[in-house]
Every structure is written in C-alpha cells, then in structure tokens.
C-alpha cells in the first residue's frame, strides 16, 4: 500500500524533470490553432481550440501532456504545441500568405528565390546553388504523411505518451 | 480604448495626407504606412519573404564554403525525418524547414534564415543515434526560430538594402551582398556570440525533449566529441568550448580538454569512418 504514493510521486517527479512545467504556470499556444482534448491522447475528443499566442494555465502534467485551461475551457494539450515563454509577435507572420498565390507560408514548396539565384550568379556560385536545389528537392520529397509514420513508429510527438 | 487609438490613427493619417497635399509638407503618408509595415515585421525588421531570400543566399554561401552537399539520399532522408519531426514543435511550426548534409569531415552544424539547416557529414557519422542527431538539428532549428542570424543583419547598416533587394523593390545588390557576407562570415568564421549559442543549446534541448527525443542527446554527443580528440578546427569550431557547453547543460565535461592536432589516431579514425 505504501508503495503507491511513492510510485506516484516518482512518476510526478520524472514528468516534471522532463518538461519542467509547474502547476499554475502560464504557457502559450504556438500553433495557429491548438486543440484542447478531453484526455491526454491525440485521438481524444476535442473540447475546444485556442488560437496562436493564447495564454493557458497549467493545471497538471502527464508525461508529455499538459492539462490546461484558457479560463473558460479545460483540456489537454501536447506540450510541444505550447511554449513556456510568450512567442514573439513576428512569429504570427509565418501563418500569413507571403504572395497572392500562397494560402499559407508553409503550403507551397518554395524553390530558391530569384534574388538568391541572382546572388549565386553574381558570386559565381552556380554549383553551390544547384546543390541547395538538390537538397530542397530531397527535403520536399519527405512528406508530412511520411513524417507522421516515422513519428508514430518512434512514439514521437503526440503519438507518444 | 482600441477604438480611440484607431480613431486617432485615422485622424493622423487624414491630417498628414491632407497636409502633404495642401501644404507640400515633406511627409509622405505612404512612407508612414511603410513604417507601420516594418513594425508588423517584428523586432528583426525582416518579413518572411525577405527572410527566405536572405536565407537562400546564405545557404548557397554555406554550401560553397563547406564542401558542397553530400548527396546521400538515405542519409538526407533520415535527417529530414528527424528534423521535420522537431520543426513541428518548434516556435515556428509552419516554417518550411529543409535539412541537408554538408560533404565535409569536420563536425559542425549550420543554419540559415528561412529554415535551411545543415549538419556536416562528420557530425552525421559521429552521432550514435537519432537522439544525438536530433540534438544537433534542434540546436540549429533554434538559431532559426530565435532569428539569431537575422538580428545580425537587422543591427547592421545594410538592413534596408538587404530587405529591399530581397523584396524585389531595389537593384542595390552591393548592400544585399554585404549583408549576406556579414551573416555568412559570422556563421562560418567568427560564430555567434556565446549567449546565442547557449540559448540555442538550452532551447534546442527543450525542443528535442518536447518532441520525444532523449533530453541528454546533446550532452552525450558533446561528451563523445571530447573523447575523439580531434583538433579544434574540426569540432564545432564556430561554437563555444565543448566543456563549457556540457557544463551549462548540467552534464559532466571530460577533464581532458579538446586536444590539439597532435592526437591523429582518434581523428583519423573518424575521418576514415566518414569517407564511406
């Protein structure tokens, strides 16, 4: 019987050693929208969403998950989706389209910009520019779905506990 | 309160516009609007489009000066899987990060604005597992998300020239080129200030941990490098001393400091390993 509280205590200590959030501490959403979930599980029902930069009060920790409240709704967020410090306002620009053709900053695969290509040309760095473009193609070939599969296999991100 | 501020701003704009038109005052309301845009760009004064242009040019310089890109598709895919997992939980989760390996035996990592992250072949082969690779990549991701390179440009006299060319609104390439040179020189020769490096170490560790990688990945990697006894130019030459980094992360540094190039046996073992 006596081992239960010690076990619970050591789990809590381990969790706090990993994430270093304290109950009552404020954290901030760093995704465009962060889901608040009913339980600490990525498949759990969504009970709400919070926008980028929204302050959230930490109520409890469980592994890499945080139980939080935005003042109105309580729910679980994955710790990687929040920051212990308020994100700078300029980060919000990443969610905005940079050209009329883009829907968001991240959607389109962006090749080396014209100004960078001209820079490479002025500096006679055509070979290096070609290498960068090769690297860009290799990187862009790794899709979000493939990253999801990798993370699932390794128990990373919100696929883990 | 917000309504009152907006009303004041509207009245000010109307007044200035009117004054400009009626009295020929040397105040251009469109320049003021441009100034407001600059504020919206944030403290670095560089918008996303400009950041990506600058980053692309810096990436070209890094690749040119560090032996080109190592065109090993499997290894490149591995660093992108690890890197993109980390980037998802970075402070700039929608930035399109790209990860590549530089074809050099030295052990180092570099990053450029806009999301270009490079690890050297020497570092890739020295890392014993995904946790250590993640630690190196997370450190570099944090240089990007914390805008350490952009702040070098934003503090320089080249800022307006660089951003104007990057935005396509100017042909003053000299200023742009000097701005890119300034960043590249810092990255490849002098290195960031130690405060930025320790910041990237600390934030990188948080990022790796939050993503699910081992918390001690960077410490164990740095400790391993201490045992390799490569010369100073071959191990994170643009970063602070290994022992200091380990200690700041709460690890135990080896009592043997980084040696000079006299110990060629261990160094050549790594070089041999990395020449596959």
A46 phi, psi to nearest 5 deg: -85, 125
Is there a single domain that holds both residue B52 and residue B138? yes
Other Cβ atoms less than 10 A from the Cβ of B162: the count is: 30
Q: Name which of B41, B47, B57 is nearest A116 (Cβ-Cβ).
A: B57
CA–CA distance, B241 with B260 (Å, rounded to integer): 13
Give B22→chain A minimum CA distance, Å.
Answer: 35
By C-alpha distance, which of A159, A147, A157, A143 is closest to A107?
A143
- pLDDT tens, position by position, for chain B (276 residues)? 444 444 444 333 333 333 333 333 333 333 333 333 443 455 567 888 888 889 999 999 999 999 999 999 999 999 999 999 999 999 999 999 999 999 999 999 999 999 999 999 999 999 999 999 999 999 999 999 999 888 887 777 777 878 888 877 788 888 889 888 888 888 888 888 888 889 999 999 999 999 999 999 999 999 998 888 777 666 777 777 888 888 888 876 664 433 333 333 333 333 333 333
pTM of the predicted structure, to 2 decimals: 0.78
CA–CA distance, B137 with B52 (Å, rounded to integer): 19
Range of the domain at B197: 48-274
Domain residue spans of chain A: 3-92, 109-159
Domain A3-92 belongs in CATH node 2.30.30.40: yes
Task: For chain B, positions 189-218, list CB contacts with chain A under 8 A.
Answer: 206, 209-213, 215
- B112 → chain A, closest CA residue: A132
Interface probe with A: pick from B88, B90, B164, most Cβ of A within 10 Å = B88
- B176 → chain A, closest CA residue: A119
Strands A65-69 and A74-78, how do they pair?
antiparallel
Is there a single domain that holds both residue B146 and residue B69? yes
Is there a single domain that holds both residue B29 and residue B56? no
Is there a single domain that holds both residue B15 and residue B95? no
Distances (CA, A) of A148 to A144, B44, B82, B99, B106: 6, 33, 11, 17, 32
By C-alpha distance, which of B76, B41, B249 is closest to A139?
B76
Is there a single domain that holds both residue B132 and residue B31? no
Is there a single domain that holds both residue B92 and residue B22? no
């Amino acid at each position: 019987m006596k081992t239960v509280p010690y076990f619970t205590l050591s789990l809590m200590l381990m969790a706090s050693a990993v994430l270093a959030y304290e109950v009552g501490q404020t954290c901030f959403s760093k995704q465009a929208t962060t889901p608040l979930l009913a339980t600490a599980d990525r498949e759990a029902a969504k009970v709400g969403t919070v926008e980028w930069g929204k302050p959230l009060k930490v109520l409890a920790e469980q592994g890499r998950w945080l139980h939080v409240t935005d003042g109105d709704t309580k729910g679980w967020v994955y710790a990687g989706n929040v920051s212990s410090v308020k994100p700078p306002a300029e980060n919000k620009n990443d969610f905005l389209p940079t050209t009329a053709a883009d829907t968001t900053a991240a959607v389109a695969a962006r090749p080396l910009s014209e100004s960078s290509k001209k820079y490479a040309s002025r500096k006679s760095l055509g070979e290096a520019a070609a290498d960068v473009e090769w690297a860009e193609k290799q990187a862009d070939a790794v899709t979000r779905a493939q990253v999801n599969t990798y993370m699932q296999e390794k128990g990373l991100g919100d696929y883990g506990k | 309160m917000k309504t009152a501020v907006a009303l004041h701003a509207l009245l000010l704009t109307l007044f200035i516009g009117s004054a400009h038109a009626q009295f020929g005052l040397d105040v251009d309301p469109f320049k003021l609007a441009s100034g407001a845009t600059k504020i919206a760009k944030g403290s670095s004064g560089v918008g996303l489009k400009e950041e990506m242009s600058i980053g692309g040019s810096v990436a070209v310089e890094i690749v040119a000066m560090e032996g080109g890109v190592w065109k090993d598709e499997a290894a490149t895919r591995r660093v992108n899987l690890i890197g993109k997992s980390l980037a998802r939980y970075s402070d700039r989760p929608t930035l399109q990060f790209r990860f590549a390996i530089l074809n050099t035996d030295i052990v180092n990592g570099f990053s450029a604005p806009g999301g270009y992250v490079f690890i050297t072949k020497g570092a890739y082969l020295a890392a014993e597992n995904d946790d250590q690779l993640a630690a190196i990549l997370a450190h570099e991701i944090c240089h990007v998300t914390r805008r350490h390179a952009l702040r070098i440009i934003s503090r320089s006299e080249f800022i307006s020239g660089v951003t104007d060319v990057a935005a396509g609104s100017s042909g003053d390439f000299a200023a742009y080129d000097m701005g890119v040179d300034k960043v590249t020189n810092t990255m490849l020769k002098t290195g960031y200030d130690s405060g930025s490096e320790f910041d990237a170490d600390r934030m990188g560790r948080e990022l790796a941990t939050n993503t699910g990688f081992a918390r001690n990945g960077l410490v164990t990697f740095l400790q391993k490098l201490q045992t390799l006894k490569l010369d100073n130019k071959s191990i994170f030459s643009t970063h602070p001393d290994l022992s200091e980094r380990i200690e700041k992360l709460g690890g135990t540094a080896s009592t043997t400091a980084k040696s000079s190039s006299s110990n060629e046996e261990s160094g050549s073992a790594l070089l041999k390993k990395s020449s596959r």
